[in-house]
Chains A and B, each alone.
Chain A
Amino acid sequence: MADTIQSSPWTDDGIDPGAVLLNVDNISLSFGGVKAISDISFDVCKGEIRAIIGPNGAGKTSMLNVINGFYQPQEGTIMFRGKERRSMKPHQAVGQGIARTFQNVALFKGMSTLDNIMAGRSVMMKRNLFWQLLWHGPALNEEIEHREKVEEIIDFLEIKHIRRTPVGNLPYGLQKRVELGRALAMEPSLLLLDEPMAGMNLEEKEDMSRFVLDVNQQFGTTIALIEHDMGVVMDLSDRVVVLDYGKKIADGTPDEVRNNQDVIDAYLGVPH
């Protein structure tokens, strides 16, 4: 599985720009009696930034959890990079090149920024116990090789100064940035971002928006993004899918969605 990442630079996942990278087809998910997602279909094309919006409880996070294998949908299929599936284990999703960040930061609190981002490369690090015991030689070489990649990401996200700080001590905005760094370290072909700007001040939001755009443009990473801030969504995304009460109510360009009556109603009806 991991070989698929390793053998291909991260923009090259065998899908042509503009072609469908991820197709979600008639997915339904329920928890006991609660229907979190009802019969939703949409696609994400290679190279785009795809926003998923909707009021709280609409099923956005659940949708990401289905895509990266954390939840198993009762119905529907998912096609990613040409392979169709109902469900898979999270580490298989990782192996196919899906990385994500979480609505509530999910970092390794006791570890430094550097170690957190290095952890994103776990799948690619192959030296076994024997080499690790010796350390000098192949294990150290591998460590340095990945360290170089990680330092590039640290550079890119402008977090050099907190490289050695345990992430538990960092302010929330920086933690979100480290989490993005960890996801980038996985060199994903599809990056899922769950409210990357929630709880940030204006300046932090602008920084994060810039990083998201740069990741998309410089590395060609396809991004699916959940965001509440409409301004951000309109600026960043190529296409928007709107969910409400687990159903899809609109899908299109930011302008189309903005003027859609169902969307306006959903947002007026549910304060957020």
Chain B
Amino acid sequence: MFYRISGQFKTDYRSDHALFRVRQDAVLMGIILLFAWVIFPFTANEFVFQALLIPVLIYSLAALGLNILTGYAGQLSLGTGAFMGVGAYACYKLVTIFPEMNLLVAIGLSGFFAAAVGVAFGLPSLRIKGFYLAIATLAAQFFLVWLFEKWAWLYNYNASGAIQVPTIDMFGIRVAGPTASSFVQYYFVLFVVTIMTIFAINITRGHIGRTWKAVRDMDIAAELVGINLLRSKLIAFAVSSYIVGVSGALFVFLWRGAAEPNLFDIPLSFRVLFIAIIGGLGSILGNYLGAILIVALPVILNILPEMVGLEINAAVVEHLNIMIIGALIIAVLIIEPHGLARFWAIIREKLIMWPFPH
């Protein structure tokens, strides 16, 4: 009886594996892409590029990397900031040792350094779990930042101990350095983030993504269906750290322009972790929603009083801001612990039913 239906369902299963099984989703995605690729860059001013668009994209990517490890594979990491640092320092060494190297290539390669370091620190994950693993990643965090500080070769023995992004051209266009235009840098970042997101979507919907989720949900059962736990976890560490490393290279080369070791310290790790949690663990979309809330919203709230003509002391605005964002985070976590992505899923569900509630 097992072969009777094979073949005739084939086209069905293929369309069943399509990214958007509902046409409206595809339309919505098209609109988002239109905004990201055309409308935003052609309407944004310098401030919007530098304070909103570029950082939101880069933080989203970092959170995406962390989400692969924590949300999909179930391995908590508190060392994201340091792994961003590995990507940034690797990129710095690559472009200073090989000045001719295309920046896209350099950033793509720096991810591999982060991946290698990630795998090394992921090795204990077979033996230790949960909070204990989190502590191990915290050790990685401290060790790496210490290394960024003490290993002078990493910052080419600069007296300042910081890395400074050199001026870099790509195909005759300035992409990095103090004189690069935000417009170009935005597209550069958007391109990398788009590619990484496509990869992340593909891998999480395939069988490697399924083994991650299986290990996350019940590792013993995963082992007993033949999943090699160590292998599955190490692939997660590698892929996650790769993406995080790339985001770190973008962070410094396409946005900050310079970096000191402590930039990659715990506050950065926690910021990215917040984005992933608020956005929704185990979701791709959530990372973007989380970054908008954590990175963009404070900036918008800061300039809002001025925009509507309110005269409020800057310090007061700052404090109000922290309170509003803090309250929002807590509200989100209370109402929907699975994050903003789940909010969206519920709204979408309602829209599909509408106007016929069942």
A interface with B by C-beta (< 8 Å): 2, 68, 70, 90-91, 94-95, 99-100, 102, 106-111, 115, 118-123, 125, 127, 129, 132-135, 139-140, 142-144, 147-149, 151-152, 155-156, 182, 186, 218
Query: Within 8 Å of chain A (Cβ to Cβ): is B14?
Result: yes
Chain A residue at minimal CB-CB distance from B195 = A133
**Max chain B Cβ within 10 angstroms of own Cβ: one of A95, A133, A140:** A133
Contact A133-B203, Cβ < 8 Å, known A152-B6, A186-B225: yes
Contact A156-B1, Cβ < 8 Å, known A91-B228, A148-B9: yes
Chain A residue at minimal CB-CB distance from B16 = A147
Query: Within 8 Å of chain A (Cβ to Cβ): is B210?
Result: yes
Distance from B259 Cβ to chain A, minimum over Cβ atoms (Å) = 29
Within 8 A of A (CB), among B160-203: 199, 201-203
Task: Encode contact with A along B9-49: 1 for CB under 8 Å, 0 otherwise.
Answer: 11001101100000000000000000000000000000000
Query: Within 8 Å of chain A (Cβ to Cβ): is B207?
Result: yes
Query: Within 8 Å of chain A (Cβ to Cβ): is B150?
Result: no
**A residues near B228, Cβ cutoff 8 Å:** 91
Query: Within 8 Å of chain A (Cβ to Cβ): is B205?
Result: yes
Chain A residue at minimal CB-CB distance from B217 = A108
**Max chain A Cβ within 10 angstroms of own Cβ: one of B1, B10, B13, B217:** B217
Query: Within 8 Å of chain A (Cβ to Cβ): is B289?
Result: no
**A residues near B233, Cβ cutoff 8 Å:** none
CB <8 Å contact, B203 and A129: yes
Can you add 15 more A-B contacts, CB < 8 Å, to A106-B221, A119-B210, A218-B1? A68-B224, A90-B223, A94-B225, A95-B226, A110-B213, A111-B214, A118-B210, A121-B207, A129-B235, A132-B208, A135-B202, A147-B16, A151-B9, A155-B5, A156-B1
Query: Within 8 Å of chain A (Cβ to Cβ): is B239?
Result: yes
**A residues near B214, Cβ cutoff 8 Å:** 108, 111, 119, 122
Name the contact of B218 in the complex, choosing from A94, A109, A133 (C-beta under 8 A): A109
Query: How large, as a class, is the contact surface on chain B?
Result: 35 or more
Chain A interface, >50% SS class:
helix
Q: How far is the CA of A144 from the CA of B216 in the complex (A)?
A: 24
Distance from B193 Cβ to chain A, minimum over Cβ atoms (Å) = 15
CB <8 Å contact, A143 and B17: yes
Contact A129-B208, Cβ < 8 Å, known A120-B225, A123-B225, A143-B17: yes
CB <8 Å contact, B213 and A107: no
Q: How far is the CA of A156 from the CA of B220 in the complex (A)?
A: 27
Q: How far is the CA of A94 from the CA of B227 in the complex (A)?
A: 9
Q: How far is the CA of A152 from the CA of B2 in the complex (A)?
A: 6
**A residues near B154, Cβ cutoff 8 Å:** none
Name the contact of B225 in the complex, choosing from A109, A122, A140 (C-beta under 8 A): A122
Distance from A213 Cβ to chain B, minimum over Cβ atoms (Å) = 15
CB <8 Å contact, A119 and B17: no
Chain B residue at minimal CB-CB distance from A146 = B207
**B residues near A147, Cβ cutoff 8 Å:** 13, 16-17
Chain A residue at minimal CB-CB distance from B11 = A144
Query: Within 8 Å of chain A (Cβ to Cβ): is B206?
Result: yes
Q: How far is the CA of A133 from the CA of B196 in the complex (A)?
A: 10
Name the contact of A106 in the complex, choosing from B16, B218, B239, B282 (C-beta under 8 A): B218
**Max chain B Cβ within 10 angstroms of own Cβ: one of A127, A147, A186:** A147
Query: Within 8 Å of chain A (Cβ to Cβ): is B241?
Result: no
